[in-house]
């Protein structure tokens, strides 16, 4: 396998899809919470919890000293029962739209003048979303491996759009350069690749 083709492997998309899948699997036993404190130390929470990803934004302020810092909390699902019940398992119950929960309320953890909004998305939906760019990246990767990048040398990747017959860099034959018919075929395959 040539290095130039390996370099085009969609590794970041694969890592993203793997991370989402891993969090989904892990969320059935463990709850992970990432608390991000924005201006005035206002708490924003990202959590993976029992098959769902939760984003919760609040006006609860921990003061300017905590601004732009974060905390990570981990525990078994049962350890977060009290938090869950306070936030979205008692009134007001979140709205449920196509598997997505939308909630809001006041008095976060008993604190006066506090309020929150939340969105909770099932991990299976996020997994599908994460696999779409991965699938597209893999398709492009395989097409380039099988047919090369259009307009580039199949052996070294050099730009061959202004060359005929042979790559000016490495001397490899350029496929489809010998006849007008071959050129037409190449154009059609390029159009198919771009479509």
- Residues forming contacts to Zn ion in the complex (CB under 5 A) are 153, 155-156, 158, 167, 169-170, 172
Pinpoint the alpha helices (H) of the chain: 3-6, 11-26, 81-84, 123-147, 180-194
What's the alpha-carbon Rg for the chain, to the nearest Å?
26
CB of 175 to Zn ion, least distance (A): 12
For 179, residues 6+ apart whose C-beta sits below 8 A from its C-beta are none
Residues 163 and 153: their CA atoms lie apart, in Å, by 10
CB 145 within 8 A of CB 6: no
CB of 158 to Zn ion, least distance (A): 4
Residue 171 is encoded by which pair of tokens?
Answer: 């001397």
Q: Which is nearer to Zn ion, 31 or 149 (CB)?
A: 149
CB 167 within 8 A of CB 155: yes
CB of 15 to Zn ion, least distance (A): 31
CB of 167 to Zn ion, least distance (A): 3
Q: Which is nearer to Zn ion, 66 or 166 (CB)?
A: 166
Q: Which is nearer to Zn ion, 20 or 167 (CB)?
A: 167
Residue whose entry in the numeric block shows the structure tokens 């590794």: 11
Strands 115-122 and 95-97: unpaired
Measured CA angle at 29 (ends 107, 44), to 5 deg: 35
CA-nearest of 32, 109, 38, 19 to 77 is 32
Q: Which is nearer to Zn ion, 107 or 171 (CB)?
A: 171
Q: Which is nearer to Zn ion, 127 or 186 (CB)?
A: 186
CB of 176 to Zn ion, least distance (A): 15
Q: Which is nearer to Zn ion, 67 or 155 (CB)?
A: 155
CB of 174 to Zn ion, least distance (A): 9
């Amino acid at each position: 396998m040539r290095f130039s083709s390996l370099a085009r492997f969609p590794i970041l998309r694969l890592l993203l899809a793997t991370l989402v899948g891993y969090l989904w699997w892990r969320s059935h036993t463990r709850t992970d919470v990432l608390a991000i404190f924005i201006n005035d130390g206002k708490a924003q929470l990202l959590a993976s919890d029992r098959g769902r990803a939760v984003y919760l934004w609040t006006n609860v302020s921990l003061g300017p000293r905590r601004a732009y810092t974060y905390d990570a909390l981990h525990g078994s699902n049962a350890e977060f029962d009290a938090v869950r019940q306070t936030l979205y398992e008692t009134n007001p119950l979140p709205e449920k739209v196509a598997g997505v929960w939308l909630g809001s309320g006041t008095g976060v953890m008993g604190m006066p003048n506090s309020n929150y909004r939340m969105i909770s998305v099932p991990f299976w939906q996020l997994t599908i979303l994460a696999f779409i760019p991965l699938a597209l990246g893999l398709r492009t990767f395989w097409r380039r491996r099988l047919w090369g990048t259009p307009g580039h040398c199949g052996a070294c990747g050099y730009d061959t759009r202004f060359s005929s017959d042979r790559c000016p860099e490495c001397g490899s034959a350029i496929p489809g350069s010998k006849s007008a018919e071959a050129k037409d075929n190449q154009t059609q395959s390029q159009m198919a690749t771009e479509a």
